[in-house]
Amino acid sequence: MSKINTDTNEESTMLEIDNLHVSADDTGILRGIDLDVDGGELHAIMGPNGSGKSTLAKALAGHEAYEIDEGDVTYKGKDLLELEADDRAHEGVFLAFQYPVEIPGVTQMTFLRTALNSIREANGKDPMSAGEFLELAREKLDELDLPEDMLKRSLNEGFSGGEKKRNEIFQMAVLQPELCLLDETDSGLDIDALQIVADGINRMREDEDRSMVLITHYERILEYVEPDHVHVMLGGQIAKSGGPELAEKLEEKGYDWIEEETGIQRSPQQAEGALTS
């Protein structure tokens, strides 16, 4: 059951990004992103290295390194940019990192149960006991073919690249967020793990209200997880949008044709050219 905005029955836009400009270290990265994600939709974002995909995901999650210079983001009818990162998580925003961080000394069990109970508390629910949590975690670990001893290990420490990625999906499955931002969760996975991750994502999609933004370099994951919309980011802008066929075309033809067609260059540095010293 959703707790907020149950009074609005209109066509549900979960996330509305309007003319978003973001910088880091005084360098402009995102240069006017417009994107609407409706409840239940999956949007794939593709684009060359350095085009700003992770910046978009991290800015939405509230990462402190990213400065919002201009624009608005509305999430479930609220001003997302007003909320601290914690509050965004409490409101159901989840980011699976491109490079999951290792936290030595904090077990996955402690981390995840604390995160889950913090979200539950913020939404007026009782905390989950250790026993209840373990039961839930076991079920989700099993679905993702991850061993139970992962709960006892320090978060991501010594996990293989693929285990870290599967672990992000495990965390998402436990936390049951409403807006899932998945940043290259398919990168570095072997063929079987890719299928497992795709199944995990598809299970989460069974909830009709849940929305996903999936950043990827590869069309392959989109064969398993069918996107409603595909966007191409170039130079901090969404240069082109389409359906799944756009991803297939990119796989075949790369990005040059979009640069030529739109006049947008692939990195902000290139695009700003003479303006920057």
Residues in 83-122 that interact with ligand ATP by CB under 6 A: 98
Question: What secondary structure, in 3-state letters, does 233-250 show?
Answer: EECCEEEEEECHHHHHHH
Extended strands (E) in 27-145: 27-38, 42-46, 67-75, 78-79, 93-96, 103-107
Q: Is 27 in the site for ligand ATP (CB under 6 A)?
A: yes
Q: Closer CB to ligand ATP, residue 51 or residue 171?
A: 51
Under a CB-based contact definition with an 8 Å cutoff, are residues 183 and 57 in contact? yes
Tell me the angle at which helices 191-204 and 161-175 cross, rounded to the nearest 10 degrees: 10
**111/218 with CB nearer ligand ATP:** 218
Minimum CB separation of residue 36 from Mg ion in Å reads: 22
- The distance of closest approach from Cβ of residue 21 to ligand ATP in the complex, given in angstroms and rounded to an integer, is 13
Among 51, 108, 167, 211, which residue interacts with ligand ATP (rule: CB under 6 A)?
A: 51
Write the binding mask 50 to 89 for Mg ion: x where contact by CB under 5 A, - elsewhere.
---xx-----------------------------------
Among the listed residues 6, 49, 64, 126, the single contact to ligand ATP using CB under 6 A:
49
Q: Are strands 179-183 and 154-155 parallel, antiparallel or unpaired?
A: unpaired
Q: Tell the smallest beta-carbon distance from residue 190 to ligand ATP (Å).
A: 20
98 binds Mg ion (CB under 5 A): yes
Binding residues for Mg ion restricted to 14-53, rule: CB under 5 A: 53
Q: What is the DSSP letter of 205?
A: T
Whose structure tokens read 């598809």?
Answer: 202
Beta-bridge mates of residue 258: none
Residue 171 in the binding site for Mg ion (CB under 5 A): no
Q: Which residues, other chains included, contact 187 with Cβ-Cβ below 8 Å and sequence gap of 6+?
A: 98, 165, 216, 217, 218
CA angle 154, 166, 106 (to 5 degrees): 15
Q: Which token pair is 75?
A: 């999430």
Residues in binding contact with Mg ion, number by CB under 5 A: 3
CA–CA distance, 216 with 165 (Å, rounded to integer): 13
At which residue do the structure tokens 């009709």 appear?
208
Q: Is residue 47 involved in binding ligand ATP (CB under 6 A)?
A: yes
Quick one: 27 or 276, whose CB is closer to ligand ATP? 27
Binding site for ligand ATP (CB under 6 A): 24-25, 27, 29, 47, 49-55, 65, 98, 267
Binding site for Mg ion (CB under 5 A): 53-54, 98
